[in-house]
Amino acid sequence: MKKMKVLLGIGAIAVAGFFMVAADHIDAPAVQGGTSDITDFYAFQGQNTNNVVFVANVQGLLSPSATADASFDENVMIEFNIDTTGDNVEDLVIQAIPRDGKMYFFGPTTPGSVGLNSSVETSAPQSMVEVTPYGSNAIVKESNGLKIFAGPRDDPFFMDFAQYGEILAGNATGFNNPGSDTFAGTNVMSIVVEVPKVMLGGSGTVNTWVESKRKQ
């Protein structure tokens, strides 16, 4: 279940000031609606401009009541992949694995295996943050130079799917202003890690993508 999707055709982004969004709310049948279903991947320069922020959102379209019952799947690992050499093969990974109400992060580290298979990089620097309960203030922890968060968030993605359908059907030529946000009032389960650029090589261009991987 490799997940890689980039909007706007941007595959390579500069660490110095990039913003990238990959949106994938409605997914392939094998993972659609499941706990490994990635909705979006964001990578952008942090408020501290020495840092880069990676955000992976999973389990989209959660209603408020569903969010209260939602949790991260302990059999699903979220892996942030970072290619620093321009060959679209990851040179660094950050892995996020939930266990007993906590999210554990491994890395950034050189992965032992690349591509479709991953193993948990247990010898890499390890960080942990309690998963923030729904409705609580965000629990953010600083560890090993990282700032980390895991928990439910309001889905930040905006898309007017009804109007999109009208455009595809030839009934409209563009979006309305204002449009109607299909994702308004729905939540996602979010994993956020802020990383000093120096830990990613510090300069130049990186390619980045996120994968969800189920334990086998």
Which positions lie near Ca ion, rule CB under 5 A? 81, 83, 85, 87, 89-91
The DSSP result for 60-79, as a single string, is EEE-HHHHHH----TTEEEE
What 3-state class would DSSP assign to 22? strand
If the CB atoms of residues 157 and 209 are measured against Ca ion, the closer one turns out to be 209
Give the shortest CB-11-to-Ca ion separation in angstroms. Answer: 13
User: Least distance to Ca ion from the beta carbon of 211, Å?
Assistant: 6
Residues forming beta bridges with residue 153, ordered by sequence position:
188
CA 89, 51, 119, 121 dihedral sign is: positive
Tell me whether residue 187 or residue 207 sits nearer to Ca ion (CB atom). 207
Q: How far apart are CA 120 and CA 108, in angstroms?
A: 12
How far is C-alpha 202 from the chain's CA centre?
21
Closest-CA residue to 150 (of 92, 64, 73) = 73
Nearer to Ca ion, 83 or 121 (CB): 83
- Nearest CB to Ca ion, comparing residues 69 and 87: 87
Residue nearest to Ca ion (CB): 85
**Measured from the CB of residue 87, what is the shortest distance to Ca ion in angstroms?**
4
Q: Residue 30 CB, nearest distance to Ca ion (Å)?
A: 18
